[in-house]
Structure 1
Amino acid sequence: MNNKLIRRTFLVGTLVVFTLSMLQLSAGYQKDRELSYNVNNTEKTQLSTISPVYSFFESLSLNKNGKEVNKIRPEVIPGGQSIGVTLQTKGVLVVGYAPISGQNGKQSYPAKESGIEIGDIILTIDGKKALNDFQVAQEIDKKCQDNQTIELEIKHNDAIQKKKIRPVYCSETGRYRIGLFIRDEAAGVGTMTFIEPKTKIFGALGHVITDIDTNDQIELSQGKIVESTIYAIEKGLKGDPGEKIGTFMLDSRFSGVINKNSDSGIFGVYEGSVNNPFYTEAIPIAWKSEIKVGPAKIYTVLKDNTIEEFDISIEKIMKYRADNKNMIIRVTDQKLLEKSGGIVQGMSGSPIVQDGKIVGAVTHVFVNDATRGYGIFIEKMLEESEILSKAAVAPLGGFFLFIRKYK
């Protein structure tokens, strides 16, 4: 047997053993149910399935045809900036029922009685597109001046339905209503994870934004980010996650348009000046196979809009989880522990750097231990942002504060 054939046989044998080992290990990761809290208070927590094995060694990976490829390693600038986030939903989201007091004093719920449920999305009112909560209220009142029945087109569990409703005149507000709490946007504070200065692509949060009432993923119509400033920190306690308290900056040095709200974070294109004093130029990303247990750094804002560097330790790496809980991290920096108690709401997206490479972002805090939490691989965020898919491949690797309105 010649040397080439020996090497080929060894490689095939290694792949088979490696793949079988990972399939066996995946069952162990499904038991890893750490009680955690999304650090922007927005996530619907559930155990995700395990992804197949695609990468091993350092930069080697397998393409769909089973051939080895060597990935071009992207470089990005780590974030750490505090950002204000606003999301406009597609249609208007139903978040609760509001009783209507009629002229006889009797309370009624016309929309609920028609079969509309919390979590449904109102798309049209008598054929007119639902744009926002104020416009929906106006349309309902205008259509019902003559006590008419209206037809709502709604999205319910991914199915489009039509509901006929007879609104009731509300003696308290002096207008016709259908008895719903609805919302058309969400707003809150989080952290920028990275920017790619050539394409102007940004990524932040490291997890999906869900509605605080329905706990469902917000279907994005449009969204924006701006710079925010932090004026107070509420320390995390056992059973009570802390939070950053901040406001949007009117004279923001940068802004951005959000074009994706996904399980791996929010992504879009920015403009303006996004600066990190610790990194004036882009640094390489780390593949998940290169991340190791041990010391690392995170970058985040605790006061005003000043990014600071803090020590953490990566305690566990879970390469084959399909969700955004890929690393368990612990805050070891005494300054951060004194100021915040560890990880708090609003730190979602704080970049993690190890050995000169950006490896991921903070996503969750453990409810009963604010010093520990989860992080997502930067590789996942760049895949979702499509930066990785745009790279050449050669043959042969918050918290969010919502305002409830009723209509």
Structure 2
Amino acid sequence: MNKINKNFKNIWIILGAVSIFTMVIIFNKNCNVNKETQIEAFAIKNHDKKFVYPMGNIIGVKANTDGVLVLGYEEEDVDYIGGIQIGDNIVKIDNKRIKNSQDVSEILNKIKKSKVEVTFERKNKYKTEVIETKKENGKYKLGLWVRDKISGIGTMTFYDPSMEKFKAIGHAIKDSDTNELLKIKQGYIYKPEQLKIVKASNEKVGKIKGDFNDSNLMGNFSNNSELGISGNITENHNKEFNVANKEKQLIEVGRPQDVKIGDAVILFEDKNKNITSYDIKIESIVYDKGNYRDMVIKVVDDKLLEYTGGIVQGMSGAPIIQNNKIIGAITHVFRDNPKKGYGIFIDEMIKL
């Protein structure tokens, strides 16, 4: 398994069609009295409305999978091994819990059996199959390539003070090889350093690059769904992301019927690490529950086109504002036209 692991270190997630890995960030729940009073006043006066803090900051994301994801097989021309297919998530071997790829190797070489029971998850259903092990150089293995970690760059969407949670991305974190939704055991968000924008063009999709490590840990999450992720901010970052210390205002959450074809803006971190609004056009709207590609947007702001070339990987989750309401988030970019992409209704992300 060590040989296999080397092939899959530091693999970046590329989400979507092309989806663009992005996020949200949380704010300090310990706001000052005036800010808490403001929130309470909003709740009383607007009991049928919801208010959140829009974001737009770039963050790094790392996550450990719940079990190990099957990426492929060591042998060529194999479609499955003992019933296990690419995209399956292995959670147990001989009823022993699998947390990571190292567990697979350790358990197999501890029990030293020619056949083992492997429990795996496929499309939210658990199955158990008896698999023949392989022995090579005195070591037992399953003959599978697996992954247990992912990392990427994203953008904050909004913070919900009523839930004390951040919401992010607007679509699921999926494996770049299998396109399967990843079962996350524990995920973390970081403040990235040495950010670099690889500009988009009609020939290629652009992306955001950056470094991040545990010293820049900002928060955590465990919920990964088709609507994105949600989680919490660490205490040591409360000051930096404290709502009370930011020139930010609560903004009303727009409903799908509030979204109109025409002018809007997105919020996104500029090269000076300031959150800047950029002009876009909403070109079409799709009211199709469960589709999650609710609108087609086009970047029309020359400043953003000069900065990024359009929508890039790492921008997914950037909040969309129209008529003083947060109405959605960017989720995907068109491969053949980086000025255009898809967005999800914010009303969907609120459900996270």
Structure-2 separation of matches of 1:167 and 1:36? 37
Distance 2:246 2:340 in 1: 24
Identity %: 36
Alignment check: 8 A CA contact 1:208 1:263 kept: yes
Q: Distance in 2 between matches of 1:249 and 1:284?
A: 34
Instruction: Measure, in 2, the Cα distance between the counterparts of 1:337 and 1:329.
Output: 14
Residue 124 of structure 1 pairs with residue 92 of structure 2: yes
Q: What is the rounded CA distance, in whole Å, between the counterparts of 1:132 and 1:92 in structure 2?
A: 6
- Write out aligned runs for 1:109-148 (5 A): 112-144=80-112, 148=114
Partner of 1:40: 21
- Structure 2 CA distance for partners of 1:113 and 1:199, relative to 1, 3 Å: closer
- Distance, in Å, in 1 between the alignment partners of 2:214 and 2:90 is 32
After TM superposition, the structure 1 = structure 2 runs for residues 172-183 of structure 1, keeping only pairs within 5 Å, are 175-183=139-147
Q: Which residue among 197, 202, 226 is the counterpart of 1:263?
A: 226
Scaled by the length of structure 1, the TM-score of the pair is 0.69
Which of residues 326, 330, 343 is equivalent to 1:375?
Answer: 343
Contact 1:230 1:301 in 2 (8 A): no
Q: Out of 294-303 and 206-215, give the one that drifted further.
A: 294-303
Change (3 A) 1:355 1:229: farther
**CA pair 158-249 structure 1, distance change in 2 beyond 3 A:** closer
Query: Structure 1 residue 151 and structure 2 residue 127: aligned?
Result: no
Say which SS state the counterpart of residue 136 (structure 1) adopts. helix
**Alpha-carbon spacing, 1:342–1:279, altered in 2? closer, same or farther (3 Å):** farther
Note the C-alpha offset of 1:246.
1.5
1:42-79 deviations in whole A, cap 9, x for unaligned?
Answer: xxxxxxxxxxxxxxxxxxxxxxxxxxxx9711111111
**Matches of 1:177 and 1:290, distance apart in 2:** 55
Supply the AA of the counterpart residue of 1:225: I
Q: Among 277, 282, 287, which residue is 1:309 paired with?
A: 277
1:302 is displaced (CA, Å) by 4.5
- Any conservation in 1 of the 2:21–2:155 contact (CA below 8 Å)? no
Structure 1 residue aligned with 2:25: none
Change (3 A) 1:175 1:207: same
**Structure 1 pair 149/108, CA: closer, same or farther in 2 (3 Å)?**
farther
Distance 2:286 2:83 in 1: 43
Give the equivalent residue in structure 2 for 1:188: 152
State the alpha-carbon separation in 2 of the partners of residues 356 and 117 from structure 1.
48
When residues 202 and 159 of structure 1 are mapped into structure 2, their CA distance, relative to the original with a 3 A threshold, is closer
Q: In structure 1, the residue corresponding to 2:229 is in which secondary structure?
A: strand
- 1:183-221 per-position Cα deviation (integer Å, ceiling 9, x unaligned): 122211111100023532111111111111111111232
Shift of the 239–36 alpha-carbon distance from structure 1 to 2, 3 Å rule, reads farther
Amino acid at match of 2:133: P
**Residues 337 and 114 of structure 1: is their aligned pair in 2 closer, same or farther, counting only changes over 3 Å?**
same
How far is the alpha carbon of 1:177 from its aligned partner? Answer: 1.6
The aligned runs of 1:83-94 (5 Å cut-off) are 83-94=59-70
- Report how far residue 167 of structure 1 moved: 2.4
DSSP-derived class of the 2:107 partner: helix
Tell me the residue number matched to 1:213: 177
8 Å CA contact retained: 1:39, 1:344: yes
Q: Distance in 2 between matches of 1:157 and 1:266?
A: 19
The correspondence for 1:326, drawn from 291, 294, 298, is 294
Match of 1:365 among 318, 333, 347: 333
Instruction: Give the residue type in structure 2 aligned to 1:153.
Output: T
Q: Secondary structure of the equivalent of 1:37? A: coil
CA pair 230-297 structure 1, distance change in 2 beyond 3 A: farther
Give the conservation status (yes or no) of the 8 Å contact 2:293–2:343: yes
Q: 1:207 to 1:159 in 2, by over 3 A?
A: closer
- Cα distance between partner residues in 2 of 1:341 and 1:161: 46
The 5-angstrom pairing of residues 65-84 of structure 1 reads 72-84=48-60
Are 1:295 and 1:312, in contact at CA under 8 Å, matched by a contact in 2?
yes
8 Å contact from structure 1 (residues 78, 279) kept in 2: no
1-side partners of 2:213 and 2:120: how far apart? 36
Give the Cα separation in 1 of the matches to 2:49 and 2:337.
Answer: 35
In the alignment, is the contact (CA less than 8 A) between 2:114 and 2:134 conserved in 1? Answer: no
Match of 2:6 in 1: none
Residues 191 and 204, structure 1, Cα contact 8 Å, conserved in 2: yes
- Contact 2:52–2:251 (Cα < 8 Å) also in 1: yes
- 2:127 corresponds to 1:161: yes
Q: Distance in 1 between matches of 2:104 and 2:273?
A: 37
Q: Which residue in the other structure is 2:263 paired with?
A: 295
For residue 157 of structure 2, give the secondary structure of its aligned residue in structure 1.
Answer: strand
Deviations 1:61-111 (A, max 9, x none): xxxxxxxxx971111111111122223222211111124xxxxxxx998x9
Question: 1:14-29 alignment to 2 at 5 Å?
Answer: none
Q: Report the AA paired with residue 314 of structure 1.
A: I
Q: Name the SS for the 1:360 alignment partner.
A: strand
Conserved? CA contact 1:230–1:303, under 8 Å: no
RMSD across aligned C-alpha pairs, in angstroms? 2.7
Deviates further, 83-92 or 134-143: 83-92
Determine which structure has more spread, i.e. the larger CA radius of gyration.
Answer: 1
Measured in 2, the distance between the counterparts of 1:247 and 1:309 equals 25
TM-score (normalizing by structure 2): 0.79
